Amino acid sequence: MSLQFTQIHHVAIIVSNLDKAKHFYVDILGLPIIREHRRPDKNDTKLDLQLGNCELEIFAVKNPPKRLSFPEAAGLRHLAFKTEDIEAKVAYLKANGVKCEEIRYDTFTNEKMTFFFDPDGLPLELHE
C-alpha cells in the first residue's frame, strides 16, 4: 500500500528568540504571518507563516537545547527554497546582514545553489 501524500503541509522549527525569528522570517524573508498565538500550556509561542502551498511553523521556546553537531545532527538538516535570480536574492540577504555562502553550481541537480543561516544557525538553502 502507498500512502500517496499530495504535498508537505508544514515544516516546524524551534527558535530561541521570537523577535529575532520574526524579524528574519517575516521582515527579511517576507513570509506572511497566518497566525500567532501564545500557548501557556506548552510555555511557548507559535507563529505560522505562509510559504507557497506550505506553512512554516515557528515555535519560540526559552532555552532550547543547542544542535548537537553542525550541520549533521539527526533530524532536520536544512530547508531549501526554490527561487529565481539567486544572485539578487543573495545580494538582498547580505544587505540585510544575513551571512551567505558563495553561490555554486550543484552538478547533481544542475542548479545554482547557496546556503545562508537563520538567527539560530539553522542552514537554509536557495536553489535556482
- For residue range 89-119, list pLDDT tens digits in order: 999 999 999 999 999 999 998 999 999 999 9
Distance between terminal CA atoms of the chain?
A: 35
Q: Which three cell numbers stand for residue 119?
A: 538567527
What number of other Cβ atoms are within 10 A of residue 17's Cβ? 13
| pLDDT-derived band at 77, boundaries 50, 70, 90 | confident
* Structural domains present in the chain: 1-63 (3.10.180.10), 77-127 (3.10.180.10)
DSSP string, 4-20: ---S--EEEEEES-HHH
How does pLDDT run across 28-57, given as a tens digit for each residue?
999 999 999 999 998 899 999 999 999 999
Place of cell 531549501: 80
At residue 69 the predicted structure's pLDDT band, cuts being 50, 70 and 90, is: low
pTM for the full predicted model = 0.89
**Any idea of the CA torsion for 38, 39, 44, 45, to the nearest 10 degrees?**
-30
- The DSSP line for 27-51 is IIT-PPEEEEEEETTTTEEEEEEEE
